[in-house]
């Protein structure tokens, strides 16, 4: 069955491979950029960002020489911003330690910031032809249905067994095409809901299709409920300027600019939380005057509802006590500063006032 799976899959891929700007390329930089962007992000979303990135940073040396501000600006809107910061770190390491050439082995690639087992296998197989199997969400789903895999795929045990199975299925010398083929199969046909089994190239050997059990796989361990956080942000104006703060480089949305504020504590109103947060973050006293808008966003592990309020400074000028930097900028210049989705929505709404 293993050899048959590879043969059927490769024959299908030779005809139905999805056109992507990085397909057909074997330079490690292009493959690396695409694979990092594709982490937890759909292909159609990635393509315009990939094109923009490659125009701005066409080589690893160009990226290594870039400023973090410029990197985050190009990345803005793609989310999971630690990916962009790690790419900058990795590019500098490749330029300095490896003379601008990515190491060819998965073991060495895993030592670079932001590259885990899957990404290392993808780069080494596609760019260097190494016999390394990949295992992402699409591949897990394909293998789980193909074999009626009876262990939850989001557990350490399930992951370990699937890596072994993926390696066993890999046709030697065909890793580049095979890995891209199995990922395409999961993304386009063996989808999470309503898989298109009628046109699936491996339907003849799929155990779950034979048993009409596709909807039961992959098995998943139940996830914990996603917590909800209430946040407040201050729009502090001074003549035609507005105050923004840059988040510390580490952590969620690291290095991005935002309207200062923070989480509500138990029993606080939004106005009370805003006054406290600005005192703690900027060392300034403010008066919360009126609400500007309500914004919502879902992150991977929690959801946020943010209220933006206009606030007036009273007394001492603000200082960057908790932020890495603060700036007074014109509202029409806010687009020059990389921001997360909520803060970008606030800045866009301010522009429309």
Residues known to be catalytic: 35
Torsion angle defined by CA atoms of residues 307, 312, 316 and 321, in that order, rounded to the nearest 10 degrees: 20
Residue 324 pairs in a beta bridge with: none
CB 168 within 8 A of CB 2: yes
């Amino acid at each position: 069955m293993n050899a048959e799976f590879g043969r059927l899959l490769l024959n299908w891929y030779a005809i139905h491979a999805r056109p992507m700007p990085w397909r057909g390329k074997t330079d490690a930089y292009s493959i690396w950029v695409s694979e990092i962007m594709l982490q937890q992000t759909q292909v159609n979303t990635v393509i315009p960002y990939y094109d923009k990135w490659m125009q701005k940073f066409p080589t690893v040396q160009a990226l290594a020489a870039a400023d973090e501000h410029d990197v985050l600006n190009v990345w803005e809107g793609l989310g999971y911003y630690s990916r962009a910061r790690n790419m900058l770190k990795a590019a500098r390491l490749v330029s300095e330690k490896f003379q601008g050439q990515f190491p060819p082995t998965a073991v060495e690639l895993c030592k670079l910031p932001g590259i885990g087992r899957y990404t290392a296998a993808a780069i080494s197989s596609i760019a260097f032809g190494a016999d390394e199997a990949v295992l992402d969400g699409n591949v897990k789903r394909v293998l789980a249905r193909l074999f009626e895999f009876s262990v939850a795929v989001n557990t350490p045990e399930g992951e370990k067994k699937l890596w072994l199975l993926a390696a066993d299925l890999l046709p030697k010398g065909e890793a580049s095409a095979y890995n891209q083929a199995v990922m395409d199969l999961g993304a386009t046909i063996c989808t999470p809901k309503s898989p298109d089994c009628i046109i699936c190239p491996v339907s003849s050997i799929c155990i779950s299709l034979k048993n009409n059990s596709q909807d039961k796989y992959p098995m998943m361990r139940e996830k914990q409920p996603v917590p909800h956080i209430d946040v407040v942000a201050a729009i502090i104006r001074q003549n035609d300027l507005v105050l923004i703060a840059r988040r510390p480089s580490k952590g969620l949305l690291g290095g991005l600019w935002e309207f200062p504020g923070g989480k509500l504590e138990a029993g606080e109103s939004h106005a009370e939380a805003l006054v406290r947060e600005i005192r703690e973050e900027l060392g300034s006293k403010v008066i919360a005057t009126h609400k500007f808008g309500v914004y919502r966003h879902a992150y991977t592990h929690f959801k946020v509802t943010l209220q933006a309020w206009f606030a007036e400074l009273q007394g001492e000028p603000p200082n960057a006590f908790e932020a890495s930097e603060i700036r007074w900028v014109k509202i029409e210049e806010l687009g020059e500063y990389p921001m997360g989705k909520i803060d970008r929505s606030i800045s866009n709404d301010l522009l429309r006032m």
